[in-house]
Every structure is written in structure tokens, then in C-alpha cells.
Amino acid sequence: MRPFSYARAADLAQAVRLGEHTGQGQTDAPAQFLAGGTTLYDLMKLDVMMPGRLVDLTSLRATHGTVTATTAGLRLGALARMAHVAAHPAVRSEYPVVAQSLQLAASAQLRNMATLGGNVLQRTRCTYFRDPSWTECNKRTPGSGCAALNGFNRNHAVLGTDASCIAQYPGDFAVALMALEAEIDLIGPHGSRRLPFASLHRAAEGQPHLETTLRPGEVITAFFIPATAWAHRSVYVKVRDRASYEFAIASAAVALELDGDVVRQARIGLGGMAYRPWRAQVAEAVLTGKPLTEASAKAAGRAAMEGAVGHGHNDYKLELGRQTVVRALMEAKAMPTPSRKV
């Protein structure tokens, strides 16, 4: 671990000022915001991230850690803790996929500490990335190569990869955000902006060290999930090597609006298999306007994994991904009909 300076921001304006040299998604950014610290401290101890300055956001929790549900949608403060949001009655009843994605993540201790903003910005669990004794890692050291391509890649991605990086995006909450077409609110040195959540994480495109579209100094202040007719009937299915305290090897966030058995609208997010939080729009189109049956769910599963490429040890994810989509669709169909329609 290297020496670093520490500053606690009293308010958002000060956080932005102090954080002008942050560059989330860049290992070598000279400053980093500190929220729960549950992943940043790990990476600093491993010498993977070496910020010279930490800007502590925890004083902002009272103002930017709240949950507000209105007829327009759900607003989640970025400093809200995972456990708090997972247990919130409105989130559990009206946006179940969000509550489930948080509840199935990490451990109780981590969920009590970790925030939503930090969760979506967590880095890959690729072992070559997290161990600097491996010199080949384009994400950690641009231009150095990718040790995982010909190494042990059982947990790596099969969707959205390129020759520069096959790392898997590890988070769960982001997958639910993709399915529910969430937006994020940001504030930075040049003012505030709102972005579709889907545009936060960049494709690898030969530059895997650049992970997000955040600008230096930008703080995520909130997530907004619009109230839709499909948010109520939504589930998160997470497949992992053990039943708790483990990252996904495949996951699917599914939200459905049904008219009887017929799919009016479908939204599908995928996790554990893709380079970044993934939306399976081709699979959604396969389902729309047709009765949801085992056969149509299988067709959607196949469409969701179209273009997926295995790298050897992770070839099993192609079939696992299809099956995970089928299971999530059938679980969503079996949910009781929501009492409130948007």
C-alpha cells in the first residue's frame, strides 16, 4: 500500500472540488472518491489502485442516501447502502428485481457498508487484474496484453469481449438497472447531467483501462428508475458456485408486462457473462407480442446468447446463459398479477 492523503467532503460542491483529479474506471487516476470502501481499500492493498488522494463522501449520506418512490418512479441516492435499499418496502414490492439483485450480492456485512454508487463502479474480479505479479493485463497496464486469453478463464465474459480484454463485469445491481432502463444523475465541475445507465460503462474497444464515461470529478448522486408496467413483474436469477457470498457466473434480470399469457413488453439484463452490464434486446424482441411458453423462453435464451464467444474454460457459460434466461422468464411469468398498473 502507498501513502495517500485523505479529505472528507462536507458537501457535494466540496466533493466535486476535491475530486477534480478522479477518473473512475482508470486504475491510475490520481484521486478516488471513497463511499463504503469495501472494494477500493481491497484494490489499494493489492497495489492495483494507487490513488494519491481519497475524497470521503460519507458525510453526504444524509442528503444523498435516501430512497424515494413516487408515481413517476424510484429515486435511489447513490450513497444509500445496499442493505437499506434491499429491505425498503417500496423497492421490494414495486421493483422486486432491484431488491433481489442487492440482496443476493456479497455478504450481510458488505451490504451494510457498501453503497449503490460504489457497487456499480466496482472493478472486475479477473485474478490477473487483481494480482500485479502478472505483468500482462491491458486493463491494469495498457498495451501489456491479456493473460486471461490463454490462461484460466472459467469466470470470464463471453459477451462483449474483444482481443484486448475478456474480463467479466461482476456486479448484480447494474444488471437490474439495465433491465429497468434506469438513468443516473451526476454532478461535476461543469454542472449536473442525467445519463441513461446503459451508457455509463464503456465497451472494451481495445482500451479496457477506460471503464466508464464519467468525467474527472463527477460524483454519481442518484439512480432513477421509471415506473413502468413491467417493473412489478420482475425477477433476478443469479447462478453462482455456492449459494451465498459469491459472484454470479450467470445472471438474468427479467421484467415483463403480460396480457394473459401474451408478452406486451419484456426487458432482459444479463450479468456474470458480459464485459459490461448487458441488455439482451434481441431476446426481448423475440418474446414481444407472443404467448410466453417454455418454447418461446428457450428461443429468447438462444437469442440472448447470440454472438457469445467462449474462451475455453468458460465455454459452459453459453448454455448456462441460455438456461438462466429461460428460468428467469418462467419465474417472472409465475409471479402473481400486479395489483397496481402504471
Ligand X SMILES: Cc1cc2nc3c(=O)[nH]c(=O)nc-3n(C[C@H](O)[C@H](O)[C@H](O)COP(=O)(O)OP(=O)(O)OC[C@H]3O[C@@H](n4cnc5c(N)ncnc54)[C@H](O)[C@@H]3O)c2cc1C
List residues near ligand SF4 by CB under 6 A: 124, 126, 128-129, 137-139, 146-148, 165-167, 208
Rule CB under 6 A: say whether 24 interacts with ligand X: yes
Q: Rounded to whole angstroms, how far apart are CA atoms 18 and 33?
A: 9
Which of the listed partners (ligand X, ligand SF4, none) does 232 bind, with a CB threshold of 5 to 8 Å by partner kind?
none
Residues facing 15 on adjacent strands: none
- Minimum distance, C-beta of residue 250 to ligand SF4, in the bound complex (Å): 18
Rule CB under 6 A: say whether 78 interacts with ligand X: yes
| β-pairing verdict for 183-188 and 234-239 | unpaired
Rule CB under 6 A: say whether 114 interacts with ligand X: yes
- Minimum distance, C-beta of residue 165 to ligand SF4, in the bound complex (Å): 3
Rule CB under 6 A: say whether 117 interacts with ligand X: yes
Which of the listed partners (ligand SF4, ligand X, none) does 32 bind, with a CB threshold of 5 to 8 Å by partner kind?
ligand X
Q: Rounded to whole angstroms, how far apart are CA atoms 125 and 243?
A: 18
Check the CA dihedral 195-65-249-28 and report its sign. Answer: positive
Q: Amino acid letter at 28?
A: D
36 vs 321, which CB is nearer to ligand X?
A: 36
Q: Amino acid letter at 214?
A: L
- Minimum distance, C-beta of residue 214 to ligand X, in the bound complex (Å): 7
| β-pairing verdict for 191-196 and 262-271 | unpaired
Quick check: helix, strand or coil at residue 40? helix
Element holding 55 (H helix, E strand)? strand 53-56
Q: Rounded to whole angstroms, how far apart are CA atoms 316 and 126?
A: 18
139 vs 267, which CB is nearer to ligand SF4?
A: 139
Which of the listed partners (ligand SF4, ligand X, none) does 166 bind, with a CB threshold of 5 to 8 Å by partner kind?
ligand SF4
The interface with ligand X within residues 222-251 (CB under 6 A) comprises: 247
Q: Rounded to whole angstroms, how far apart are CA atoms 121 and 119?
A: 5
C-beta of residue 297 within 8 angstroms of C-beta of residue 325: yes
Which of the listed partners (ligand X, ligand SF4, none) does 24 bind, with a CB threshold of 5 to 8 Å by partner kind?
ligand X
Chain residues that interact with ligand X, rule: CB under 6 A: 24, 32-40, 42, 57, 78, 105-106, 110, 114-115, 117-119, 121-122, 171-173, 219-220, 247
